[in-house]
Amino acid sequence: MDLLNTLVDKGLRRELPTRDEALAVLATSDDDVLDVVAAAGKVRRQWFGRRVKLNYLVNLKSGLCPEDCSYCSQRLGSKADILKYTWLKPDEASQAAAAGLAGGAKRVCLVASGRGPTDRDVDRVSDTIKAIKDQNEDVEVCACLGLLSDGQAERLRDAGADAYNHNLNTSEGTYGDITTTHTYADRVDTVQKAHAAGLSACSGLIAGMGESDEDLVDVVYALRELDPDSVPVNFLIPFEGTPLAKEWNLTPQRCLRILAMVRFVCPDVEVRIAGGREVHLRSMQPLALHLANSIFLGDYLTSEGQAGKADLEMIADAGFEVEGAGEVTLPEHRAAAGGGCGSHADADAGCGSQEGAGCGSHADAGCGSHQGGGVCGSAPAAAATVTEQPSDARTDLVAVRRRGAGTDLAPNA
């Protein structure tokens, strides 16, 4: 297929595809999905080999968010039967993080629901970061606390944070259909604040909210323009009790095409499969590893994920290897430049044009992970119309988290 050959060549040169080419990837048929995966897989292997980075979510504060993000189980007015608790103490958060690190994670994502942190909240999170790093010197810590005020990103960096997550979630044109309590521009501003403070920026999207192909391409091109080091791709988890509970729009093949499009547009960036992979990719999860080089280990913010042991077995069975703590995730040219879309280090690679949830994991909303736990200030991309739930909706795969942080039960890691 000429399209795929062209996209592979561009990806190996870090050159931005045209919008028509990105849209054409999403328009390919199910018959061609293996060809699409194989092509995008060449680009993934060029920049990341066969390494898979593991990330682990710690939900510092769950539920009762004042924002109205339609996809989120923690939103204002949510009737989802999720865990609700206030701030974990630093030692509790450190203990929760230790479980993920023992399972092979090299990054811990600290997520808290809410519009954004107060200065006292920043102090709490700073103490938590110190507690985690005192026990695990080499661990990466990403914070996902919502919209940042001036100076807060710098304080988090000084406390030892390595990264900050705040997702764009959807296109600017449809953002207002999903969230009314903050704007798309607010989210862009927070990603820029993190970047300016010297934090590694993590910003991604949520697919499956009823958005168009054009919306998906818009948000991915906007992300490339913002130049985050990691892009979490969340697939909507339709939680009962949220406005998008009936939005079952994804198939495994559709998810693979979306991940491939993101890889072609962001060839040398950490692409993370975040919330919803178990619900929508299901038995096709191993194929997605040929597209993304990063996943979350175990549970998400408010929903359960695949068992950590099953994640590790899946990676090994698919012929990949877990990225070690001493390995640098990003390709050398990006790491040396402090991140970036790759085109900053190469005149050939034009940075496209133009954000959530946190560190990449949003099936829960937060740290890259949406849905169930979105850090407020993160919204999805979709039309707000309520449709009849399809008969093949896999509601049995949506399980509310009842273990780990905020409970007396051992975490899933």
Looking from the CA of 79 toward its CB, the CA atoms found within 13 Å total 6
**Catalytic: which of 142, 144, 341, 359?**
142
CA pair distance 4, 20, nearest whole angstrom: 13
What three-state secondary structure class fits 110?
strand
Active site (annotated) includes residue 65: yes
Active site (annotated) includes residue 266: no
The tokens 């077995």 sit on which residue?
A: 313
Active site (annotated) includes residue 69: yes
What three-state secondary structure class fits 74?
coil
Helical spans, DSSP H, in 197-250: 213-226
- 36 CB contacts (<8 Å, ≥6 apart)? 4, 25, 28, 256, 257, 260
What three-state secondary structure class fits 368?
strand
- E-assigned strand segments in 216-342: 230-235, 270-273, 294-296, 321-322
CA pair distance 159, 209, nearest whole angstrom: 36
Number of Cβ within 10 Å of residue 51's Cβ equals 17
**Catalytic: which of 44, 65, 107, 255?**
65
Positive or negative, the CA dihedral 187, 190, 195, 200 is negative
CA pair distance 250, 281, nearest whole angstrom: 9
**Catalytic: which of 107, 254, 257, 272?**
272
Active site (annotated) includes residue 72: yes
**Catalytic: which of 69, 266, 359, 376?**
69
- Are 206 and 234 in contact by the 8 Å Cβ rule? The answer is yes
Residue 368 CA to its chain's centroid (Å): 3
How long a stretch of residues is the chain?
A: 413
Would you give the DSSP letter of residue 396? Answer: G
**Catalytic: which of 44, 75, 107, 109?**
109
**Catalytic: which of 44, 107, 202, 367?**
202
Show contacts of 339-347: CB within 8 Å, 24+ apart: 339/200, 339/201, 339/227, 339/228, 339/229, 340/227, 340/229, 341/224, 341/225, 341/227, 341/266, 341/268, 341/269, 342/14, 342/267, 342/268, 342/269, 343/14, 343/16, 344/227, 346/13, 346/14
Active site (annotated) includes residue 144: no
Number of Cβ within 10 Å of residue 310's Cβ equals 14
Active site (annotated) includes residue 376: no
Active site positions, annotated: 65, 69, 72, 109, 142, 202, 272
